[in-house]
Structures are given as structure tokens and as C-alpha cells.
Amino acid sequence: MSPKAQQTFHHILDSAMACYLAKGVNRTTLDDVARKGNVSRTTLYRYIKNGDDLLHQVLIRDAGERLTECEQAMRYHNNLASTLVDSILFFMRGRSSRPVFQLLFENQQSDVNSKLRLTPDMFRPMTIKILEPFFQREQEKNNIRPGVTLEMATELICRITLSLMTFPAQFINDEKALRQFLETMLVPVIVNRT
């Protein structure tokens, strides 16, 4: 994609996000997005297939941005235990401040949840990308519990993260309690601390 095309594509995604936040996902039409972005429907259809594809592209872009930010935040970690805890804390911190997270999690009857079913599968590639180097290092040191594979650890982490993001309960405003919970309940399941 040329730089100008990328700029147009991101402008369309920004316009869609603004419409989603203002009107809700289910009430946002492609005409609304075209109007907000000051682009024609023809231009819009050069970049997206339909409304569902537009939502998907908005979510993918945000996930890529969040992954880059998380990788930067985790770059100084030297072990899997701290990476597990801090990467989940990182995503929880963004839960109430990132517009996409607001769409996904702020309202239990979210418009987005009616359009797409959030599952651990959606978060698996990102989780593997963050954890794999740390997991391999700990595996080489025999610090992974016997029988635990990267795939198993990823599945558990995705499920726990999705659960916490969807139903944060007391952890939404208490990072210390969440850290203690993760260090007590998650880390020992994966990391063999001898």
C-alpha cells in the first residue's frame, strides 16, 4: 500500500472509531463513516469489504498498536514470571483508557460483543508473540513446570486475561491486588519456582 493509501486507510479507520464511540457499532453505517471521513463510498469500498470488515480492521489495527506498546514495555523483563504479570497488568491499565477497549469491555451488552464473539483465539497470536522468547529462555533453564507447553500457557493466559478484561471486579482499581492474584494463582501454574 502506498503512503497515501495508508494515510487514507488510517483516516477511514479513525473515522469509523469516532462513529462507533459516538453512535455505537450497531448504529454506525458505512455512510456515517464516509461522511465523517469526508470520503466517497467508492473510496471506502477500496479499503474495506463491508461493515463487519471495517470493524475487524479497526480492531486489528488497535491490536497491532497495543502489541508494539506491550513489547516495548516488556523489553527489559528478564524472566517469564514478571512478563506474565506485567503484560496482563499492561492490558488492564488500558481497559478504561483505550477507545477500542471501551467498545469491547465497558458495557456488558456491548454492540461489539453482539457483532463478534470474543474468544481466547482472538488474543492467542498476540500472546504467543509476547511470551515465546521468555518461555523458551525459561524452558532452557528448566524453569517451566513439567508438561506445560507454550500452547497450554498461552491458552490459560488468554482465558484469564479475557476474563479479567470482561469482568474486572475488584481488580479494576486495585493493581496491587491484581498483581498478588496473578503472582499467586497464575505464575505457579506455569513457572517452576525452585
Closest of 58, 81, 86, 59 to residue 70, by C-alpha: 86
The pLDDT assigned to 60 comes to 85
Count CA atoms closer than 13 A to 106's CA, side-chain side: 13
The pLDDT assigned to 4 comes to 93
What confidence category does residue 114 fall into, taking pLDDT thresholds of 50, 70 and 90? low
Residues in the chain: 194
Residues 6+ apart with CB under 8 A from 72: none
pTM, full prediction: 0.80
